[in-house]
Amino acid sequence: MMETWEEMTVRHKRERMELVQSLAQSDYTQTQAAKILDVKKTCLNNFIKRNKVRWPVIRQGRTKNG
């Protein structure tokens, strides 16, 4: 039996959540994840905020001069 449109929609949302959570837990920055997913960083950020995904902050390396 084929899945219904509603079932497909729910499955797609679950798969997107799992993928984004996996990237968040794998020490990728949001910028790197956006490139991997081929979406704009703002689109990814909106998805993260809307779905309350916990994304650890990774401090970008700045070097001290002197």
How high is the pLDDT of residue 66? 47
How high is the pLDDT of residue 57? 82
Q: In angstroms, rounded to a whole number, what is the distance separating the alpha carbons of residues 32 and 8?
A: 28
List the pLDDT tens digit at each of the 66 positions of the chain.
999 999 999 999 999 999 999 999 998 999 999 999 999 999 999 999 999 999 988 666 655 554
**Which amino acid makes up residue 39?**
V
Token output for 59: 């401090």
How high is the pLDDT of residue 52? 95
The sign of the torsion formed by the CA atoms of 51, 52, 58, 59 equals: positive
Q: Where are the alpha helices (DSSP H) in the chain?
A: 5-25, 30-37, 41-50
